[in-house]
Amino acid sequence: MGGVVIVEEIFDYPGMGRLFFEAVGNRDYPLMQTILLFTIVGMLLANLLADFVVGWLDPRVRKGDAKWICKITNAQRRWRKKGLLPRWASML
């Protein structure tokens, strides 16, 4: 949202960013919540669509064939046994 507000202010374009900025200034909470809701839902749908497109384009990512993404090394297995490596660290 921040970049949109800057672009709309520079080019004097009335859009969602300016509307959100004015809603914050006027403390119009229902309008702010509505704009954020639509922005968040739009981003979630865009990410979901991107995940489907990647799965369609790259057969390695399809369901049941994504083991190559989370490969862990033998050293990481040893570190995990000793409690030195958290579970999420092997996915980085």
Q: Say yes or no: 53 and 75 in one domain.
A: no
Q: What is the pLDDT of residues 19-58, one digit of tens each?
A: 888 899 999 999 999 999 999 999 999 999 998 888 788 7
In this structure, the answer to whether residues 46 and 20 fall within a common structural domain is yes
Same domain flag for 20 and 40: yes
Same structural domain, 4 and 49: yes
- List all residues 6 or more positions away from 40 whose beta carbon is below 8 Å from its beta carbon: none
DSSP result, 32-51: HHHHHHHHHHHHHHHHHHHH
Question: Is the entire prediction scored with pTM above 0.75?
Answer: no
Same domain, 20 and 42: yes
Domain that holds residue 24: 1-57
Residues 10 and 49 in one domain: yes
| Structure confidence by residue, pLDDT tens digits, 66-82 | 555 556 667 767 777 77
